Structure formats: structure tokens, C-alpha cells
Structure 1
Amino acid sequence: MYLHHVAAYLPTAIVTNEHFTQLNGLASDWIMERTGIAERRKAGPDENTNTMAVAATQALLAKIPGFDPADIDLIVVGTYTPHDTIFTAAHAVQRYLGINDIPTVSISSACSSLLNAVEIVEGYFAMGKARRALVVVSEHNTAYNNEADTMAGHLWGDGAAALLITKEPLGPQPLRIAEVITGGAAPVGKADEAVTLKPVEKGIVMPYGRDVFQQACTYMTRVTQTLLDRHHLVANDLTYLIPHQANLRISVNVTKQLGLDPARAVNNIQRLGNTGCAGAAIGLAEVWDTLRPGNNVIITVFGGGYSYGAMLLTK
């Protein structure tokens, strides 16, 4: 499989740490020390998961001149913050594109949804049911977030990203998706209650952040090392490591365990907050234009419910 381009959409409204200082007394320095976050984006009143998914798709297509969107024959969208659980973000993207009679799938595996979406594409390609797929990840965290929650209310940001994946290369020097590994560790630790979003009861809550931190560091490091070993690479063969953007301390810990030069870790959480399953894809979009032949990139993720995974991309 080949990844031809990725593009991101971010709302324009910026919420700084000072907002939370005024709201509930949390000092900006305290938030920075614990999370690395200085500011985050917030969707406007007329924006939601569906509109951001469409906007990311528009941004992607604008970056691929000459590509006919009518050639897309599979749409997979990942989110755990749906605007509508029936007319999903995947349907919204399909309606925007105006492409009828193609598989259209919406999934949620928490913050790991990006890589599970890529695996779904891999399956459709292997079965001969598709050849040009659009993957979109979109999160409207602030629609569910309780800003007054001093444990996790300051973590969340909104954003989306879109990727064009094909079975065969369409043009020169796309990124090859060398391998995707995913798994679930729901029997481990406090996976059933560490991060939850129960729409009929309450918004996003994270009462056991320490357990999330420990398991994320363990599983992201482990699955990344497995991918490196399978492809006979060492950490510093990577041009970039793009970790899930949940907490800057997780990224630092994983990088240290792998023995990777910290400068090669892509982090946007300082500017965007935790953008859920969109965070790593947004990070890839941010470094896309710097990639050169011979480069290797690993995206590694960990989500609530303790799903995890890693994907190796080669140029």
C-alpha cells in the first residue's frame, strides 16, 4: 500500500492555558509541566466532527492536483467524538464527495483509530474490493469536554486529518506503508475506566491518568521496537517517530526507552492539545514536505480502552 498525501484541518480559535487559570485556578506552568500543553484549538459554533472531516478532505484534495476524487472507492473515518452516530462523519465525507455505491465505514478504537482505519483499508485491498481509499480522522473533543474538570478538562483540542491511500503507486515517490501492527490490551490495568466517554451520563473523564501514562509508555515502546526489529532497523534509522499526542511526557519517555534522538520525535501537543486519533496524522501532515527518499517514519499510538499500534512508512 502507498500513502500519497496527508492534510490537516485545524479550527482557528485558540484556547491558552490562561483560560483555565481564570476558570479553575490551574496555573499555566503546572499544566505545561504535567502535559506539555500551552494551547489548544477549539471548534467554532458552526463546526463539528463531520464538518472538520470534510474540511480535512478538502485540504487533502487541494494538495493532489490532477487526482479525480471520483476514483475513490473506499472511505474509512475514525473518531470517538461523533457529531451523529447514524449519519456519521464517513457518510458526511461521502456526501461531500458525491461518490455513490462505495463502502463507507466509521470506526472507533479510541486514539488508535488511525491505524485501525489503515488496517481496514489493507483488508479491502487484499480482498480486491477497493484500490483507492480515503482515510479521515476527526475529533471534536471540546463538544464532550468538561473544562471545569481539573484532572483532564485542560487536555483536549479539536482537529482532523485526511490521507489518500492506494493499492498501487499513483505517482513518483509516495510513502510505502511497509507494515501496520495493532493490538488491544483491555485486560490490563484500569483500561475499562481510565478514560471514558459516556454520552448519556457525562463527557470525557480521565480519573486514572497515571495508569494511562504507564501503559502508554510500555505499549508504544514495545510495539515500535517490534516494528523496528521486524524490518531490521534501529531507532536512529528513523527520520521521525510520530507518537500519539496525549502527553509530552509520554513522548519523551518512549523516545528515551527506544534510544532515539529526541529531535526526531514529532510533537504538536504543545500547540494543539490532545487531538485524539487525529493527532499523529496531523503530525505527519506537518512534516510531510520535509520527507526525502530513504526516509523512515513510524507512527505509534495508544488509546483509551488500551488499544495500541504502530505503522512503518518508508520513502
Structure 2
Amino acid sequence: MYLHHVAAYLPTAVVANDHFTRRNGLSSDWIMERTGIRERRRAAPGENTNTMAVEAARRVLHEAPGVAAAEIDLIIGATYTPHDTIVTLAHAVQHALGVADIPVVSISSACSSLLNAVEIVQGYFALGKARRALVVTSEHNTAYNNEDDTVAGHLWGDGAAALLLSAERLAPTDLRVVDVITGGAATVGKATTAVTLQPLNRNIIMPHGRDVFQHACQYMARVTEQILARQQLTVQDVSWLIPHQANGRISDNVVRSTGLPPERLVSNVETLGNTGCAGAAIGLADTLPRLQPGQRVVVTVFGGGYSYGAMLLVRDEEPAG
């Protein structure tokens, strides 16, 4: 399986930390010290999870060389902040692209949903049920966020990204999906109470932030090491590490734990905040143009409910001649 292209969509409205200083008294320095977040994006009136997903999908097809919307035969959507639980973001993308009679599925495993979506594509490809797939991640956190919450109200941002995957290599710049690992750790710590979003209450709450922090650091480092060991690689073979973009301190901790040189970390949390399962995909979109033949990327994620995973990608050396 190959990753042909990635594209992101970000709302234009920027919300700086001083917004929360005025709102609930949290200083910008305090937020930066504890989270690494300086600003985040907020969806405009009329925008939502589905509209952002559609824009990301349109962008990936517009930018992708040689792939038309009519060739897409599978769409997987991923979000924990749905605009509509019946007309899901996958249905909205299918409608916007005008591709009829293909499988469309939306899933949620909190902030790790990106990699579960990729695994679903692996299954369809392995069974011969699809050849070209879109994975679309989108989060409208600000639709649910309580900005007066001094524990977590300043963490969240909005954004979307789309990945175009194929069963065969389409271009020399494609990344080969070498391995994907996912798991659920809902039996550990305070997994089922640490971060919750109950749609009827329309509020993301995080009463056990320290527990989230500790387990995110532990699991993202561990699964990164696990996926490398399965391929008989070390952290020195990794060109870029793209963790879930939740907190700058978590990302730094994962880098230290794995022994990865800090300059190989991809981080967008300072300017985007926590964009949920879209965060790592947005980071991948930013990283893709920089990749050279032979370079490897690890995407590692962790989410509420304590789901986790890692994906290893490589840009294969181009054939001689």
C-alpha cells in the first residue's frame, strides 16, 4: 500500500493565547509553558467537521498528480467531533466528489483514529475490494469546547487533512506503508474517564490530565520502538517522527524516551493547538515535500479512551536509469 499524497485544510481565524487571558485569566506564558501552544485555528460560522473534510479532500485530489475523483473507490472518515452522526464526514466527502456506489465509512477512536482508518484501508485493499482510497480526518473541536474551562479549554483547535492511498505505486514520490500497529489501552489508568466528550453535554472535559500525559508519553514511545523493532530498524533510521499533536511537552518527552535527535521531530502544536486525529495528518502534509529517497517517517498517536498506534512509511529509492 502506498501513500500518494496528503493535503490539509485549516480555518483562517487564529485564536491567540491572549484570548484566554481575557476570558478566564490564564496567561499566555502559563499556557505556553504547560502545553507549548501559542495559538490555534477556529472554524468560521458555517464551517464544520464535514465542510472542512470536503475541502481537505478536494485539495488532495487537486494536488495529486494523475488521480481523478472518479477513480476513488473507498472513503474512510475519522473524527470524534461529528457535525452529523448520520450524514457523516465520509458521506459528505462522497457527495461533494460525486463518486457513487463505493464504500464510505466513518470511525472514531479519539485522537488515534487516523491510523485505524489506514488499517481499514489495508483490509479493503487486501481483500481486493478497493484500489484507491481517501482517508479524511477532520476535527471541529471549538464546536464542543468550553473556553471557560481553565483545565482544557485552551487546548483545542480545528482543522482537517486527507490522505490518498493506493494499492500500487503511482509516482516515484509515493511513500510505501511498511507497517501499521494499533491497540486499545482502555484497561489502564483512568482511560475511560480522563478525557470525555458527551455530545448531548457539548463539552470536552479532561479531569485527569496528568494521567493522560503519562500514558501518552509511555504508549507513543513504546509503540514507536515496537514498530521499528518489527522491521529490524532503530530510531537512527527514522528521518522524521510525527506524534499526535496534543502537547509540546508530550512530544518532547517521546523524543527523549526514544533517543531520536530533537531536530527530527515534526510539531505543529504551537500554532494549531490540539487538532485531534487531524493533527498528525496535517504534520504529514507539511513533511511530505521534504522527504528524500530512502527516508523513513514514523507517525505515532495516542487518544482519549487510551487508544494508540504507529505507522512506518518509507520513500523507496528510485530505480536506477
- 1:77-96 superposed matches below 5 A: 77-96=77-96
Partner-residue secondary structure (3-state), 2:164: strand
Q: Equivalent residue for 1:6?
A: 6
Q: Equivalent residue for 1:214?
A: 214
Q: Equivalent residue for 2:236?
A: 236
Partner-residue secondary structure (3-state), 2:124: helix
- Distance in 2 (alpha carbons) for counterparts of 1:191 and 1:202: 20
**TM-score using structure 1 length:** 0.99
Q: Equivalent residue for 2:44?
A: 44
**1:263 CA displacement:** 0.7
Give the AA of the match of 2:138. S
How big is each residue's C-alpha offset from its partner over 1:273-312, in whole Å with a ceiling of 9 and x where there is no partner? Answer: 0000000000011111100100000000000000000000
How big is each residue's C-alpha offset from its partner over 1:139-174, in whole Å with a ceiling of 9 and x where there is no partner? Answer: 000000000000000000000000000111112231
Give the AA of the match of 2:130. A
CA RMSD in angstroms comes to 0.7
- Distance in 2 (alpha carbons) for counterparts of 1:242 and 1:146: 28
Q: Equivalent residue for 2:76?
A: 76
- 1:1-315 superposed matches below 5 A: 1-315=1-315
How big is each residue's C-alpha offset from its partner over 1:200-227, in whole Å with a ceiling of 9 and x where there is no partner? Answer: 1241000100000000011101100001
Partner-residue secondary structure (3-state), 1:37: coil
- Distance in 2 (alpha carbons) for counterparts of 1:197 and 1:218: 23
Partner-residue secondary structure (3-state), 1:4: strand
**1:230 CA displacement:** 1.0
Partner-residue secondary structure (3-state), 1:76: strand
**1:65 CA displacement:** 3.6
How big is each residue's C-alpha offset from its partner over 1:101-151, in whole Å with a ceiling of 9 and x where there is no partner? Answer: 100000000000000000000000111111110000000000000000000
- Distance in 1 (alpha carbons) for counterparts of 2:143 and 2:39: 17
Give the AA of the match of 1:247. N
Deviates more, 1:168-177 or 1:148-157: 168-177
Partner-residue secondary structure (3-state), 1:115: helix
Give the AA of the match of 2:58. Q
Give the AA of the match of 1:83. H
Give the AA of the match of 2:230. R
Which 4+ runs in 1 deviate beyond 3 A? none
Partner-residue secondary structure (3-state), 1:93: helix
How big is each residue's C-alpha offset from its partner over 1:32-68, in whole Å with a ceiling of 9 and x where there is no partner? Answer: 0000000000000010000000000111112114321
Whether the 8 Å contact between 2:58 and 2:97 is mirrored in structure 1 is no
Aligned residues: 315
**TM-score using structure 2 length:** 0.97
Partner-residue secondary structure (3-state), 1:222: helix
Structure 1: runs of 5 or more not aligned: none
How big is each residue's C-alpha offset from its partner over 1:62-101, in whole Å with a ceiling of 9 and x where there is no partner? Answer: 2114321101000000000000000010000000011111
Partner-residue secondary structure (3-state), 1:34: helix
Give the AA of the match of 2:89. A
